[in-house]
Chain A
Amino acid sequence: MAAPMADEATEIVLATARLARLELAPERAAELAPQFAAILAAFGRLAELAEGEAPEPRADLVRDVTREDVPRPGLGREAFLAAAPERAEAHLRVPRAVGRDA
């Protein structure tokens, strides 16, 4: 869990941004990279705790949280659609994702 060096950190920031579905300009990634490296270096102290046995999770934290499988009223389509950025009749509208030229 070594923290990346600042020069490789820009590439890591850009790759991570793609995974996080975040558009990030290269210059913004270069700004973030040293912070990212410094933060990971500081949190690298966690490695000191990697060894040694961790206690088992406590049994009192484990319980059945499922409810009865019976229908009940939901939020309602109109309330949900009213809060969305764009709609088409009874649907959320998004840019075409199928059958679109790459």
Chain B
Amino acid sequence: MTALPDALALRQRLAAGEASVEATLARTLQRCAAREGDVGAFAALWPERALERARELDRARAAGEPCGPLFGVPVALKSNLCVAGEVAHCGSRVLEGWRAPYSAGAVERLLAAGAVLLGATHMDEFGFGSSGENSAFGVPRNPWDGARTCGGSSSGSAAAVAAGLVPLALGSDTGGSVRQPAALCGVAGLKPTYGRVSRYGLVAFGSSLDCVSPLARSVRDLELALSVLSGADGRDATCLELPPSEPPAAAAPARLDGLRFGVAEAQLAALEGDARARFDAACAALEALGAERRTVELDLAEHALAIYYVVATAEASSNLARFDGVRYGPRRAGDGSLQGMVAATRGELFGAEAVRRILLGTYVLESGYRDAWYGTAQRARERLRAQFARAFGEVDVLVSATTPGPAFRLGERADPLAMYRSDVLTVPASLAGLPALSLPGGFVERDGRALPLGLQLSAPAREDARVLRVARALEAARPEFARPSPVALAEASA
């Protein structure tokens, strides 16, 4: 899947002096100018900042300074990650024009590793969506079929990687917002264990669920990105006090002998017919590597959507209470009173899905309903966690499809409930705080075009390395499960 080099290969060439960072960045910017119109991934490009940074890196290398693990690698950032002085509007008019006064912990780590920040990508408003369509500023188009969605909510980050514009991008994953677009765009995405990467400077959606998460062309790049991004950060009270993870090993594991992988029958029912066939082929490929397939019980996963949408909207309504026309972004006058100004600002500037989620979240937290909705959801979440723990007593990793089917057409899921159902396979791991990875899992055809599918692997909390190891083995053994998108191929041959 790497007609264009992945981040690790690019870094090695740049660190060896085979090309300058500035010249490589200039080509990246040309590529964006040529192809961005096909996909519409970026909300903002930062050419001046990036070129200045590239020259600084070239000078440092020439002076004999050590090259970091992402030396010279251009990286795209979802527009809910703060970069000091740059827009971070989260796809929302409520933050239009607002510039972040500080940088996120993940952004600091990228810079310390030598990365070049290229720009901010489009997203569903505050992460509320599974297609990218809930953005106030732009809807990315799928590099495999421009009439289809990229998935969401990290739509632009996935589109930028899949279109060959950048080898690495950051998104955020609350209920599948990196794994789903990775699957629908045919790239790899990792939601780390909750707390493995600092949330400092990530604009909050669901604070008990949000994870800064990388997207890349190869699984080893996800491993590389996690080794850069992970580690303790005292500015995020939920960040785990663990050292950074290990950088990728030189070679992918050749075999998976002794590995037990679990499949929950309850999760197979959601799959479209041909997607089920591709899923079975991916499981057979794991078995061919020596792994053993087992069936596990995960019937509470059927309730995960309801649990998730109660917990996540409750947290979102609390987190979005801060956007009131006083401290950030634009303001609407309303009737001239303070209360009127706040209500008018929020009522006019939040998009339709944000309004829906704020209302749902406020309702389930309301006095008199709180225990019936939010309390029940929290207790059910604990039961789901316990069911995962039992499953991991029997198997090493769980395997499912990432989405029920391939990318759907833009505008196809106007009914909010139909859109929420897109998340059915990704929210269980989010609720349990597990590491979960989506890697390319083959193709199906729709309207005469090949469209990618994702395969999702999850493991117990803190076992991020396990899903990465299994994914690398499968990626190496079955390269035909992935290939560059038509837009990336056009660029590679240009």
Interface-located stretch among B68-76, B271-279, B370-378, B392-400: B370-378
A85-100, CB under 8 A of B: which get 1 and which 0? 1100000101111001
Known: A1-B369, A16-B359, A55-B385. A49 touches B376 (CB 8 A): yes
Docked-complex contact A39 and B416, CB < 8 angstroms: yes
What separation, in Å, do the CA atoms of A84 and B326 have in the docked complex? 7
Question: By the criterion CB–CB under 8 Å, are A79 and B336 in contact?
Answer: no
Interface string of A23-37 (1 = CB under 8 A from B): 110000000100110
Given contacts A1-B369, A16-B363, A94-B338, contact A32 B355 (CB under 8 A): yes
The answer to whether A22 touches B382 (Cβ under 8 A) is no
- Report if A38 contacts B (CB, 8 A): yes
Residues in A neighbouring B382, C-beta threshold 8 A:
54-55, 57
B338→A20 contact, CB < 8 A: no
- Cβ contacts under 8 Å, B306 to chain A: 42-46
Contact B326 A67 (CB under 8 A): no
Select one of B237, B355, B356, B360 contacting A65, CB under 8 A: B237
**Contact status A12-B369, CB under 8 Å:** no
Q: C-beta contact mask, A54-81 vs B, less than 8 Å → 1, else 0?
A: 1101100000010100000001000110
Among candidates B305, B340, B355, residue contacting A24 with C-beta atoms closer than 8 Å: B355
Residues on A with beta carbons closer than 8 Å to the beta carbon of B237: 65
Known A-B contacts A42-B306, A54-B379, A95-B338; the reply to A23 vs B330 at CB < 8 A is: no
* Complex contact A86–B355 (CB within 8 A): no
**Given A16-B359, A32-B355, A49-B379, residue A21 in contact with residue B339 (CB < 8 A):** yes
B326 touches A82 (CB 8 A): no
* Chain B residues with CB below 8 A from A50, complex form: 372, 376, 379
* C-alpha spacing A57/B363, complex, angstroms: 25
The B288-325 residues at the A interface (CB cut-off 8 A) are 300, 303, 305-307, 309-310, 317, 321, 324-325
Chain B residues lying within 8 Å of A58, measured Cβ to Cβ, are 385
Beta-carbon nearest neighbor of B346 in chain A: A22
Kindly provide the distance from the CB of A19 to the nearest chain B CB, expressed in whole angstroms. 5
Complex contact A52–B383 (CB within 8 A): yes
B17 interfacial contact with A, CB 8 Å? no
> Which of B95-103, B158-166, B176-184, B473-481 has 4 or more CB atoms under 8 Å from chain A?
B95-103
B417 touches A92 (CB 8 A): no
Q: How large is the interface on A (under 10, 10 to 19, 20 to 34, 35 or more residues)?
A: 35 or more
Tell me if B358 is interfacial: C-beta within 8 Å of chain A: yes
Q: Are B376 and A85 in contact (CB under 8 A)?
A: no
- B367 CB → nearest A CB, Å: 10
- State in angstroms the CA–CA spacing of A20 and B324 once bound together: 11
Using CB atoms, name the residue of chain A closest to B302. A45
B60 at the interface (CB under 8 A from A): no
- What's the Cα separation between A79 and B63 when bound, in Å? 34
Q: Are A36's CB and B338's CB within 8 A?
A: no
Known: A20-B359, A32-B355, A35-B356. A55 touches B331 (CB 8 A): no
Does B417 lie within 8 Å of A94, measured CB to CB?
no
> Is residue B24 within 8 Å, beta carbon to beta carbon, of the partner chain?
no
- Answer yes or no: B449 CB below 8 A from chain A CBs: no
Q: A32-B355, A43-B309, A54-B379 are in contact. Are A80 and B101 (CB under 8 A)?
A: yes
The verdict on B366 contacting chain A, using a C-beta distance below 8 Å, is: yes
B204 to chain A, nearest CB (A): 16
Q: Once the chains bind, are B417 and A42 in contact (CB under 8 Å)? A: yes
Closest chain B residue to A102, Cβ basis: B337
- A residues at B contact (CB < 8 Å): 1, 12-13, 16-17, 19-24, 32, 35-36, 38-40, 42-50, 52, 54-55, 57-58, 65, 67, 75, 79-80, 82-86, 92, 94-97, 100
24 A-B interface contacts by CB (under 8 A): A1-B376, A16-B363, A16-B366, A20-B321, A21-B321, A21-B339, A21-B346, A24-B355, A36-B359, A42-B417, A43-B309, A44-B306, A46-B310, A50-B376, A54-B378, A54-B383, A58-B385, A75-B101, A75-B102, A79-B101, A83-B327, A84-B327, A85-B326, A85-B329
User: What are the 4 A-B residue pairs with the smallest beta carbon separation, nearest first?
Assistant: A23-B347, A54-B379, A65-B237, A1-B372
New A-B pairs, 13, CB < 8 Å, besides A39-B417, A46-B373, A52-B383: A17-B359, A42-B417, A43-B306, A43-B373, A45-B306, A48-B303, A55-B382, A85-B326, A85-B328, A85-B330, A92-B326, A94-B341, A95-B341
